[in-house]
Structure 1
């Protein structure tokens, strides 16, 4: 019957060729009546055309005759019009016309098609099914030794066969192919595998993951595809480094962090320099004493100059506020810089902490073809190997040359062998996307690289001219419309072992992501405690006394733990610090009314228990020693000494402070007022 159909196709081609020549002859005859048509020698390299060509095309559009293929007529565009096609059905009685298709009127059926549930050819017929063991299409049951016949097998194709048998009312017998191959042509024109068994009529159907290819279509028939797929690349998962305790530093590269540190140091130094140069950062802390001699202070000491950018960078600010235009300019530029840095860091932090990116050496088939470090191959004797062998695409040709010439061979005998080679060596396996998806669901160490290399389908193989082809086509289309094939695929493909991409994105952050910030916090607390201990020890070392450092430390800790008022301890320690140094008589008299100058700041008061005059003398000595953040106003620099005045009603006290190769500074102060002595 197949040869009969081919003979019918040859006869149809001959009839169309005859009608074409007949139409041209009719057009030339009509043209010859109006003008003398003659042959002209033309060259393909010249732009000269046949002078009668346009006229002949116009006469061809006007041809109307009856030929072997029916009525011949053309429209203004040169297309055939006003013709009809008969629809024939192949049955036991031969070809019968069941409908007519007209170019103008469309389709009209004379009789209905037979129901696919009841057929004369398949009803109560036992078919031999050849197949191959391949997960999840056809598999042996765990207890297959105790079973017989079709009950020994399970899988997607087995379930599909059951539903096809219920629809078409046939019986079947499953038999595994002898050589365990799908089918490739041999050197002498013979075929192996399931295709070979269909050609030799040893089987009626081949139900498996059999790919529909043009080469196989020449020797066997295929049904409608029951599954669409493509060639994909399987490779093992290469995870990047696990997020460490300091992964919160990942949003910026090490170079950016280094430049940020250098920018911080540069801004701090420039701020310190600018604050010293500008006269508007030197100010009187007590504006009520304007016009009298007092000290001028600068809030940007070296320590404050390094602390002020830190407060701005941490978005917390500080009590130090710039007063001069130059320092405000430096501060504004630094704040704008920190605004962009903090915004960029915040925007990238979430992605770097929540997404564990994969580091894959290849991302597409072009990357795989352009390197030689990673081997790649396919299943020997499969459609994937044939695809690369017959491909005319340059990249695929290069890949085939690599696979064909590689020693030892990169081809495998089964999918399981290819997957094992992927997991145990630097190897990429080329296989159908459906198989790739199936094994990736069951092994989380596997992944798919790139997209599909082609698009093809799986079909049911039959011998050439099989009378069951139409019935199986209709049955497969019905199963697709009822979503039965999709339900079967989900049943056998969904493994549920590996988490989905959404699960990775929804997973909360753990200590492995942000544990480093806790380490930084603990280290900062330990450094603060260590510095406090050093300051405590340094203060006790500077003060003369016989008390032990450990005893003082223990006494202070006991007061903290027992919630005692530590002010008493501080007062006792302050008294012990001041006790070894005897005070002059004049200084003791000045305690009744004195002014405290702390860090260059001027404040007044009486009756305080603190040795205010001594503190004033110490801080004035800072000026003489060259303290950078305290100055003497120019009005006071002309005084050469600080002399004692008799303690009278004013309660004043004068001090003479030595200096290092500098003139002695003279101060007079009385009841909170600060003025130059005369």
Structure 2
């Protein structure tokens, strides 16, 4: 068939129209990357897919060295000068090469696009566009996140100087206090590696358990693994914050699962639908959760460039976007196509980008958000930070959710409880083969058991004796809790935390009661005078009696007329024999006087001097006896700390290096300072290493000459079990026992809530009553601390007086018998009768108590006039004796008759 010329012309016109009117411009885009960047997945089709109007980008990727600027510039200029040059440049990650390329692109007026972190200190050019979050805002965001996590003290482990620039606002959180001896932020450089264990051990042995780790993503797993090897991550209070934007893609394998809480930040949410759809379209082989920040930012950079070119084409479709030839020479070029200006005002919507809305202000990205996630639960962030409100952190979990999450961590952690063996707080039962927790019993065991029931947690005890101490265990975080008689003090609060108090107490004084056998001395009435004074007094009594005897014999006034009716007596009589002299002096010193008195001047003077001596001695004895017995009965009269401080007989001490020592040592009270100076200067030392040794010293001191300062609760416990002890006075201060914990632990509020629950339901009082009063061996002591000490004097104090009375009466009765028998003997001699007859007469008269007069000479016939009466009396006496001795009455009658006949 023949084709007309007209049809051919129309065909060529149609083809030309399509070519010139609808054909897309091909532009070159240069990607000068470091070798490391080529490992990151990039899909350049993103630009062609978005350039659906007139511009097709043809990317060219070239590798440039990291540090060799000269070689980087040569390669750049070599490829840039070919053909029509580049319409845009995607720069390398290396800061050194990037700074050079940025300057060249400004000279060439070509958009320079980067997607890596760049410090703000680098010179910025109008042609430069960085999609990575602005360095200052990112640093401010990290600081706000750490503050929002309530991290007051932490350690920063950084890789290099670049890390310090990233974390400059975090470091500014350091609070510098005048005279402070510690820093709240600890900076440590990781070093070259690959062994980071020495540094991690140093962190473990410090008080810090909040760690900010800034390093390359590929080093995180190795560092965390080594941290686990040194038991840094075994602590439930350990929190690690990873600043790497790609930390969310790390597979923290099961061997890294520990009690530590690991958080990080990410620039996007891989669980949003539009994010998943874009990843499935452009990176079908990669899971959305595994997308790197570099990939996401490069994607968004290509979208930004495509949207820029699209906007330029829409504004001027006739523009030829083919690149103009430009060369690396001295000539400065102009942005004839307006790509730089258009890119500065182009905005990419959030649904088109992977990292959120993109709008670059002066080439910097100031609009972005950071999601804070826990690496083991990445789906829902725990907080979100927005760059438009840099000082605010938006928490996404309510208080209930945070509480449940922490409760779960507590349940999965086996708490290490450090304590010491001290009654009644913790005691070893020595049960062979018993589980570890069943081996111990006491108040501490019951308390932590009740807390574990409330929190549904597990625990095990670690027992300490002297070193390391409970405080050291908590400071070095070798233990999670410290439970015993653990006093809350200001000094300890500087290095560890405490729970709310579970027991209130104060410093008191333990002293031994003065033993009753020491007080109840039956010869106490002798003590007002020493034995020397008693001997001198008795000797002087005898000597003075003899002196008065001789003085009376020499004094003529003491010789008297025995018969006053006879005016001219032939004899004078002197009544002051040795017997009367002894009686006079004795009656005087006994304050009873005498019925006869001397009449001579000399004898009266001698007697008056004895009376004066007797007055002084008797008055002194009476006063001293009253005071002595009263004070002796009261013991040493130490009833308060003032009494103890104002005497020097009873020594007092306390436990060395304890809270009680700190109270006295740093007290502003003059009395306590005086006592502290006295204690520290005593020799031998009054300090003891433990309360138990102080208690033993008080008990073993026989005379109660040692008192010991200790907590009132321990004194109450000992008083219930040892009735020979007493508590002196009231509390010297007011303090509390609490559960010790390392600083800034996450579970402190849970422990406090558990103690508050036990307090409200009365369980704390029940536990104290159980171990202080009910768990007794034997009978409890009286509640009165001064039992057995009263004002009145007992028989034990004055029993010696009764003994002296009994002995004196006995001696008098014995002398009376001897005198009676001697008188019977004299009568038998004078009357020429037998001794038995005289004895019978005198006995009969002595037993006849109704007779008050006695003949000068006995009538012997009275002894035999009434034989019948005598016989009957004798039989009656013998019958009574026989009845008492159970002897036959007939036999006794015969014996009585026989005796009567013999007489």
Tell me the TM-score normalized by structure 2: 0.38
Query: Max radius of gyration: which structure?
Result: 2
State TM-score, norm by structure 1. 0.48
